[in-house]
């Protein structure tokens, strides 16, 4: 049953135009061109009809009579007094609509007022309906500003100004971020429950990763941070991955805090049943410090016992240093260097104590034949392997079914930052860049729908609206 406002003359015209277009099409020669024209015009008519219905319905929600509207109310410790009726124009999935509503002035000087109807409708940034804002957020996560605005114009016949578009994105991203990590935690717990139902010989694995990625901010390139938390089932099939992203920040304290809070929340929600805890990264400054200063000292939030985190240095980063050793020993690009590096990579991956064997072979080859490359390159590579050899027991870890590469985190850097924030000519302020990162991590983590459902289901503590009884059913 469709609700049609009592002032439905325009709606009737739309129905009449639709019928006319049908008659013209059905009596004309059936060609691709005529079919295309009919389909596009019919879409426009249907969209216009929906726009009119939505506009009339919203226009008639709030009573125009003062005696049917509260004179004042309190919200979040602030007092608001009824001031006047004001017009508002918003963009919807059917196009722009206009309506009037009561505006309440904050009794405190120089503070903004509020239109309760806008809040109850879920209007984002005072400019866009929630359904259209949701689409806009997805578009902003994937497309540059101009491309997203062109898509809105093409699909929904709305043309928000650059300023209005940016306000919507800022408002939406702020809301998304406010619940992002909580919903990420809930999703990880759900994945762990799913993984525990699987059949296999391994414990459920919670794998954490962290890496840096440079983005061009104003005025220079700076290091942003990407965190990942993945769940693997008993067969070591990855169930899902949560991405966290943070724009450049000195010492990266926000990423450290967010990553730690999510991990602690997951452990608390998943209970005391054993989880295998793994940290897989390169040996960069911030990833290394996070393992040393946070994970090694972390206790289970329920039992208080020290957690057993194991750190695996990314296998492919280790292989890069093996290749550097080979180039130093046999000459860069030579067949002997290629063959020796290939053999050592196999040893690293498949043989127990493989890292010790590689180090010993490199030292032995140097004593026997000297260097064909620089001593600096040789020492740098060898010292790296020696320093992190305790975290390079790849064969043993593979027997336990554990991943030995940080590909998930590397992919996160690419997906969250590189593909969106490092396009030609792009430079970012930290705040505006973070808006895009927050929208993108929500989307790429597969928790966008969870977040959106939570946002639109949050009740507003506002005075009741006196509805007009002017709608009729047809």
Judged against a pLDDT cut of 60, whether residue 139 lies above it is answered with: yes
The band of 474, judged by pLDDT with boundaries at 50, 70 and 90, is: very low
Token duo for residue 245: 């992203």
C-alpha 100/C-alpha 385 separation (Å) is 69
170-203 pLDDT, tens digit each: 999 999 999 999 999 999 999 999 999 999 999 9
pLDDT band for position 1 (cuts 50, 70, 90):
very low
Query: For residue 246, what are its two tokens?
Result: 């943070």
State the pLDDT at residue 23.
62
In this predicted structure, the answer to whether residue 10 has a pLDDT above a threshold of 50 is yes
Q: Is the pLDDT of residue 440 over 90?
A: yes
Instruction: Kindly indicate the confidence band of residue 109, based on its pLDDT and cuts at 50, 70 and 90.
Output: low
What residue segments make up the domains of the chain, in order of their start?
Answer: 3-60, 76-160, 174-314+405-453, 316-391
Average pLDDT rounded to a whole number, residues 315-322: 96
Say how far apart CA 358 and CA 365 lie, in whole Å. 11
Q: What is the pLDDT of residue 42?
A: 86
Residue recorded with tokens 């239109």: 115
DSSP state of 446: T
Return the pLDDT at 16.
60
Report residue 425's pLDDT band, with 50, 70 and 90 as the boundaries: confident
Residue 61 has pLDDT above 50, yes or no: yes
Residue 206 bridge partners (DSSP): 231, 277
Cβ-contact 447, 183 below 8 angstroms:
yes
Q: What is the pLDDT of residue 466?
A: 56
CB 299 within 8 A of CB 215: no
pLDDT value, residue 70: 87
Confidence at residue 341, expressed as pLDDT on a 0 to 100 scale: 96
Residue 356 or 22, more confident? 356
Contacts of 324 (CB under 8 A, 6+ apart): 377, 378, 380, 381
Whole-model pTM? 0.88
Q: What percent of the chain has pLDDT over 90?
A: 76
**Residues 420-441: what's their mean pLDDT?**
94
pLDDT, position 34: 82
Report pLDDT digits (tens) over 260-283. Answer: 999 999 999 998 788 999 999 999
Residues 427, 230: contact at Cβ < 8 Å? Answer: no
Average pLDDT over every residue of 112-137: 93
The least confident of 11-15, 28-32, 83-87, 351-355 is 11-15
Burial 414-435 (b: 16+ CB within 10 A, else e): ebbbeebbeeeeeebebeebbb
Gap between the Cα atoms of 64 and 149, Å rounded = 35
Whether the Cβ atoms of residue 98 and residue 51 lie closer than 8 Å to each other: no
- Strand order from edge to edge, sheet including 221-232: 238-246, 221-232, 205-216, 276-281, 309-313
Residue 468 has pLDDT above 70, yes or no: no
The Cβ of residue 310 has, within 10 Å, a number of other Cβ atoms equal to: 17
Q: State both tokens at 103.
A: 């505006």
Task: Look at residue 151 and tell me whether its pLDDT is greater than 60.
Answer: yes
Which range is least confidently modeled, 21-30, 222-231, 243-252, 452-461? 21-30
pLDDT, the chain, mean: 90
Taking the C-alpha atoms of residue 21 and residue 39, their distance in angstroms, rounded to an integer, is 10
The pLDDT of residue 2 is 42
Please state the rounded mean pLDDT for residues 104-121: 86
pLDDT the model gives residue 206: 97
The residue behind tokens 């439905």 is: 8
Q: What is the pLDDT of residues 363-413, one digit of tens each?
A: 999 999 999 999 999 999 999 999 999 999 999 999 988 999 999 999 999
Over pLDDT 70: what percentage of the chain?
91
């Amino acid at each position: 049953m469709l609700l049609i406002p009592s002032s439905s003359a325009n709606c009737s015209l739309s129905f009449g135009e639709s019928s006319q277009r049908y008659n013209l099409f059905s009596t004309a020669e059936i060609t691709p061109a005529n079919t295309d024209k009919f389909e596009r015009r019919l879409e426009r008519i249907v969209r216009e009809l929906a726009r009119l219905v939505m506009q009339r319905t919203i226009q008639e929600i709030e009573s125009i009579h003062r005696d049917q509207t509260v004179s004042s109310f309190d919200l979040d410790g602030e007092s608001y007094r009824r001031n006047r009726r004001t017009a508002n124009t918003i963009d919807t999935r059917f196009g722009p609509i206009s309506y009037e509503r009561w505006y309440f002035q904050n009794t405190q000087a120089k503070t903004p007022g509020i239109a309760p109807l806008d809040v109850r409708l879920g209007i984002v940034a005072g400019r866009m309906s929630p359904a259209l804002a949701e689409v806009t957020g997805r578009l902003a996560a994937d497309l540059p500003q101009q491309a997203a605005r062109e898509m809105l114009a093409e699909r929904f016949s709305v043309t928000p100004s650059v300023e209005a578009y940016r306000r919507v994105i800022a408002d939406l991203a702020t809301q998304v971020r406010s619940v992002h990590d909580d919903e990420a935690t809930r999703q990880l717990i759900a994945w762990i429950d799913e993984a525990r139902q699987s059949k296999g010989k391994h414990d459920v694995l919670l794998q954490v990763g962290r890496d840096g990625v440079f983005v061009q901010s104003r005025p220079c390139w700076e290091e942003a941070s990407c965190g990942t938390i993945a769940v693997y089932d008993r067969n070591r099939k990855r169930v899902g991955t949560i991405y966290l992203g943070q724009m450049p920040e000195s010492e990266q304290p926000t990423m450290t805090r967010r990553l730690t809070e999510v991990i602690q929340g997951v452990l608390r929600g998943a209970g005391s049943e054993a989880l295998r805890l793994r940290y897989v990264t390169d040996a960069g400054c911030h990833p290394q410090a996070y393992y040393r200063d946070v994970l090694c000292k972390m206790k289970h939030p329920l039992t208080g016992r020290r957690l057993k985190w194991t750190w695996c240095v990314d296998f492919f980063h280790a292989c890069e240093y093996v290749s550097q050793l080979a180039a130093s020993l046999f000459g860069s690009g030579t067949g002997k260097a290629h063959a020796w590096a290939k053999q050592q990579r196999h040893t690293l991956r498949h043989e127990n104590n493989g890292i010790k064997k590689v180090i010993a072979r490199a030292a032995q080859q140097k004593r026997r034949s000297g260097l064909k490359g620089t001593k600096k390159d040789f020492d740098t590579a060898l010292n790296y392997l020696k320093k992190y050899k305790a975290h390079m027991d790849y064969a043993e870890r593979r027997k336990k079914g554990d991943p030995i590469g940080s590909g998930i985190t590397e992919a996160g850097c690419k997906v969250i930052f590189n593909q969106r924030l490092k396009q030609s000519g792009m430079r970012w302020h930290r705040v505006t860049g973070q808006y895009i990162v927050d929208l993108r991590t929500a989307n790429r983590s597969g928790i966008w729908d969870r977040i959106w459902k939570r946002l639109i289901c949050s009740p507003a503590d506002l005075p009741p609206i006196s509805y007009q009884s002017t709608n009729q059913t047809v």
